[in-house]
Chain A
Amino acid sequence: MADGYNKPIPIPQPESDNYWEGAKAGELRLRKCDDCNQAYFYPRNICPDCGNNNTSWIVASGNAKIHTFAIVHRAPHPGFVEDIPYVPAIVELEEGPRMATQIVNVEADPSKISIDMAVKVVFESITDEISLPKFEPA
């Protein structure tokens, strides 16, 4: 674990073990429904559209665009006090689904970030088991 990491740490669950193993290996893995032929997020064994179990895993390109972002100036949790201002965001992946994330390696200034800006995934290792997919300007 990175020294002093005191933010919430994901605990992999039966449906997400593979997602977090992928992130640790530097891959953004998505679930895809083979009946609907559509990728979706977050990972669930059952397709949220058709309700079937005919689902598989794919590796996303990591390319996305910003759907929205904010710039947090008041930390909502003690673990983020030293990070403010930081940039939470929702990004739209090239494969279609949206996911929540942070935009990193950019100045936390609304004039330096824009909705629809192209971003690509980077992985931040926070424990031996967990790396968080974040996004930076492409």
Chain B
Amino acid sequence: MPVMDKLKNLSGTAAIVGVAESDKIGRTPDKGPLELHAEAGRNALADAGIDKSEVDGVFTAGYSTYDVAEYMGITPHFTDSTTVGGSSFVIHIAHAIAAIQAGYCEVALITHGQTGRSDRARAGGNPGLPTAQYETPYGIIGPPVAYSLAANRYMHQYGEDRTREAMANIAVSTRKWANMNEKAFFYDTPMTFDEYHDSRWISWPFHLPDCCLVTDAGAAIVITSAERAKSTKQGGVSILGAAEGHDHSLLHQMPDLTRTWGRHSGPQALEMAGLTHDDLDLAMVYDSFTYTVLATLESLGFCGPGEGPDFVADQRTAPGGDFPLNTNGGGLSYTHPGMYGIFTVVEAVRQLRGETGQRQLDECKLAMAHGTGGLLASTGTVILGRD
């Protein structure tokens, strides 16, 4: 089990000093995924005011760090290609803290890039993996089918009508945030509750707006020691807590379809930071689907099992509500290239720095960014703070 005394000693010892997206996100048919990694990496280093030659730790998922580092002309002394779905890049933050504190590297660069919208070929499955025998032959292929199976179990346990209303609340509130973010895919496209309820089915119980976007996008994060962060261009956003884990791979192996590993990573990250839920000014929670948010808020402990529909009721998570959630417009309405987790961190850092324009929160000193990966399988939680 994690040793909390040691983790508490790591709290605040490293900081995020640069964040960025690729030059353009949304539709980039003229760019390859590695190019998006490299653009985002270059932009995040520029944000930090750190030269590429100083990067000695490289972290990525989907691609190997081989390919990203070679493309960018980086020769790292520490390398980590941990790939556990869309949470990977949040999980890399914990690994970067550990590597920096152990002395393996001083400047960690985490990159992401995917062309989910413009991909010219889909990768085939590996027949040696259990999913190829036990899930895909039944048409349990891709996240919408899998997550809709989990959502229906939730509806059964906690009530269909109130679950439906909660999913609508999340879809509509997230869209309102996107309407305040010029980079969001749906910046110019509002959505009413009627439009949500009238939209077509993708995989019942999911309407189309229950499902995230499929876009092209890249993002990157630069991390260094708290000491060194003081002399960077923007100063540092302190990493106060970080935790990770997973409890299955195939959906049907998930112990409880209504509870993610956030039930461990959320409390662990908060305890490491010495904080409670009520201390947070912002929650950035991976929203691959509306249901993901519902199950995640409960798992993280913001409310109890089955209480999510009350927690998000009456547009409480929308602009002006008392629980700001996914202020960039989320995977649902801002961008979702496939593995979205890194973007939760980018937005949290920008809110903490006060850089988010019309959607800027009045008070934002402590934020949680939380990624979920695979089929509700892995999670990574970080707690970030700025004085």
Binding site for B on A (CB under 8 A): 7-13, 16, 20, 41-42, 67-77, 79-80, 83, 85-86, 88-90, 98-102, 110, 115-116, 126, 132, 134
Q: List residues of chain A with CB within 8 A of the CB of B200.
A: 73
The smallest beta-carbon distance between B113 and chain A, in angstroms, is 24
Which positions 17-69 of chain B face chain A at CB distance < 8 Å? none
Q: What are 13 residue pairs bridging A and B, where the CB atoms are less than 8 Å apart in the complex?
A: A10-B127, A42-B134, A67-B257, A68-B150, A68-B156, A70-B148, A70-B204, A71-B203, A77-B139, A86-B139, A88-B145, A98-B252, A134-B138
Q: List residues of chain B with CB within 8 A of the CB of A86.
A: 139
CB–CB B205/A70 < 8 A = yes
Give Cα A77 to B136, complex, Å.
10
CB–CB B257/A68 < 8 A = yes
Once A69-B149, A89-B149, A115-B152 are accepted as A-B contacts, the answer to whether A11 and B133 lie under 8 Å apart by CB is yes
B 104-142 binary contact with A (CB < 8 Å = 1; else 0): 000000000000000000000101101011111111111
CB–CB A88/B204 < 8 A = no
CB–CB B204/A90 < 8 A = no
Give Cα A8 to B138, complex, Å.
8
CB–CB B201/A73 < 8 A = yes
Closest chain A residue, CB of each to CB of B211: A74
**Quick one: which of B127, B142, B156 contacts A76, CB cutoff 8 A?**
B142
Residues of B in contact (CB 8 Å), total: 36
The smallest beta-carbon distance between B23 and chain A, in angstroms, is 31
**Quick one: which of A74, A90, A110, A132 contacts B251, CB cutoff 8 A?**
A90
Q: List residues of chain A with CB within 8 A of the CB of B125.
A: 8
The smallest beta-carbon distance between A72 and chain B, in angstroms, is 5
Once A76-B141, A80-B139, A90-B252 are accepted as A-B contacts, the answer to whether A100 and B134 lie under 8 Å apart by CB is yes
Give Cα A4 to B203, complex, Å.
24
Which positions 136-182 of chain B face chain A at CB distance < 8 Å? 136-142, 144-145, 148-153, 156
**Quick one: which of A10, A70, A75 contacts B137, CB cutoff 8 A?**
A10
CB–CB A76/B144 < 8 A = yes
**Quick one: which of B136, B144, B149, B250 contacts A74, CB cutoff 8 A?**
B144
The smallest beta-carbon distance between B117 and chain A, in angstroms, is 16
Instruction: Give me 4 other A-B pairs in contact (C-beta within 8 A), A8-B125, A16-B133, A83-B139 excluded.
Output: A11-B127, A73-B202, A88-B139, A115-B156
Give Cα A101 to B136, complex, Å.
9
Closest chain A residue, CB of each to CB of B140: A88
Give Cα A89 to B148, complex, Å.
10
Give Cα A69 to B151, complex, Å.
9
The smallest beta-carbon distance between A114 and chain B, in angstroms, is 8
Q: List residues of chain B with CB within 8 A of the CB of A9.
A: 137
Q: List residues of chain A with CB within 8 A of the CB of B139.
A: 7, 72, 75-77, 79-80, 83, 86, 88, 102
Once A10-B133, A69-B152, A74-B144 are accepted as A-B contacts, the answer to whether A88 and B138 lie under 8 Å apart by CB is yes
Give Cα A70 to B251, complex, Å.
13
Give Cα A75 to B128, complex, Å.
24
CB–CB A100/B203 < 8 A = no
Give Cα A61 to B202, complex, Å.
34
Give Cα A99 to B138, complex, Å.
11
Give Cα A79 to B125, complex, Å.
14
CB–CB A67/B153 < 8 A = yes
The smallest beta-carbon distance between A89 and chain B, in angstroms, is 7
The smallest beta-carbon distance between A48 and chain B, in angstroms, is 9
